[in-house]
Chain A
Amino acid sequence: MKVLVVDDNVMTRGLITDLLTEMGHQVVGEAENGDEAIRVFSEARPELVLLDMIMPGKNGLQVLQEIRAMDPAARVVMVTAVQQDIISKELMEKGAVAILHKPFMYDELEAVLATIKQP
């Protein structure tokens, strides 16, 4: 799958990119904030976005909504340490396909990706 990785923390971005590459996926772009994520999404049209929640500028919820407005079929997995029930519910209502809570294990990422079918 072609994946866009969005996280303001360079260490986490690198870790996720390494894991995805190891699993055989292609990371077509990385972004460290919401505006960059939206720009890269519109250019690279990834099949999946792994999206952080807390970033400078636009937060993950806002970016999720903008990406889904641009492409209602866009598949976005939220990757976050925020485990507040109300926010999790809102993310799913706004179109996230899954939420991966930090810190996540290799198997958890693999399981989430396995549930997302190729287009």
Chain B
Amino acid sequence: MNTNPYTALENLAARSLETCLQRISRVSAGTWKVLEVKAGSGTLETALKLHAYKGTAAAVYFNLKDIAPLTAVMLFEPADLECISKGFTGHSFPRSGAITMAEEVMLTELANIVLNALINAPLNALKKSFMPAVPLFVQGDLQRLALELGRVTGPGTNFKIIAASISVQSGNCASRTEVFTLLPEELAQALERIQPSA
């Protein structure tokens, strides 16, 4: 017997992300896959700790207009940008250590696509729609990201978290990114009600 109360949420997110990553794999130079989807409860800080920080991380995030606070975030390892760029655009940008404007633009577009896939599915299941805000980029350690994103989500607020790990492979290189959405409790409960057996 499945005792996981979040199976419906996880399945919904997994299907949407898999479809999205299959499309990205077809149009890009990399192979993109969903490694794992997990749902649970927690705060922004809980979700940000899904990333294994080696100093700083790069994050692209947006929230939805007219609904607060539903936020979606994609986290990248800066040391892997050459691989991520190669897997998405087919070429690597010259790397000098710091994240360049061209890399920021590339990460923002990639995250825009993946994060929308993550939130489209639950909103469509609920027959709701909200216009996403323009995706924003931030780089920093866990504390900096928590501070920056906390301005959007509210500090210490408890959410339902849908999180996924994604892999990209291009030629000899491989990387892993994390995405998550923080669902307000009432939306998550509504989703669980309409998808009891998913």
Contact = CB atoms under 8 A, between A and B. Distances in A.
Do A and B come together as binding partners?
yes
Interface of A: 8-12, 54-56, 59, 61, 81-87, 102-105
Contact of B134 (A8, A81, A82): A8
Nearest to A62: B131
21 contacts: A9-B105, A9-B112, A10-B105, A11-B89, A11-B102, A11-B109, A12-B109, A54-B131, A54-B132, A54-B134, A59-B131, A61-B131, A82-B131, A84-B123, A84-B130, A85-B127, A86-B128, A86-B129, A87-B131, A102-B112, A103-B28
A105 B26 contact: yes
Interface of A is mostly: loop
A104 B27 contact: yes
B106 interface: yes
Contact of B116 (A8, A83, A85): A83
B133 interface: yes
A55 B112 CA distance: 11
A11 to B, nearest CB: 5
Interface of B: 23-24, 26-28, 62, 89, 102, 105-106, 108-109, 112-113, 116-117, 120, 123-124, 127-135
Contacts, number: 60
B135 to A, nearest CB: 8
Contacts of A54: 62, 112, 131-135
Nearest to A88: B129
Contact of B132 (A11, A61, A82, A103): A82
Contact of A103 (B23, B106, B108): B23
A82 B121 CA distance: 10
6 closest A-B pairs by beta carbon, nearest first, are A86-B129, A81-B116, A84-B129, A83-B120, A81-B113, A103-B27
Nearest to B133: A54
Contacts of B134: 8, 54-56
A75 B179 CA distance: 36
Contacts of A102: 109, 112-113
Nearest to B101: A10
Nearest to A14: B105
Nearest to A86: B129
A104 B109 CA distance: 13
